[in-house]
Amino acid sequence: MYSVYDYGRLIADSVRTHAYAQALRRVVKPDSVVLDIGTGTGIFALLATFLNTPLAPADLLKLADSHVPTLNEDGQIDRLLLELMHHGTPLGDIASRLSAEFPARFATWEDALTRVGKLSQKYSR
């Protein structure tokens, strides 16, 4: 498991980061779909977004379903949020469900709504 410091060092390694960015530029096209669930800082998903890559929640759900056994807790939370948002679940119900299923992570309703907002921004077109 990487620490925040480790992630910072990885991102600050300009040779490494530049090589990954160049690889993304070669393979990610405007019609590509990119999935980022629990991949550390998300910097490369962010780069893919800057490359005008669409992120489709329905496709994310299908891919997440096939990887549920391997998802860490953050991935499980994101997967649940994608499912609830995809079905148009009201925000209050989403927050209640997060608090019920992950009480250690979402002690308050506000904590849960903050996570919903972050995920919504992450996967918005």
Cα–Cα distances in Å, from 85 out to 22, 29, 41, 125? 33, 26, 23, 14
What is the reported pLDDT for 69?
62
The string of pLDDT tens digits covering residues 70-79 is: 667 777 787 7
What is the reported pLDDT for 95?
80
* pLDDT value at 60 more than 70: no
**Residue written as tokens 């903050």?**
114
Average model confidence (pLDDT) for the chain? 74
What is the reported pLDDT for 67?
60
Residue 23: other Cβ atoms inside 10 A: 11
**What residues have CB less than 8 Å from 65, skipping those under 6 apart?**
79
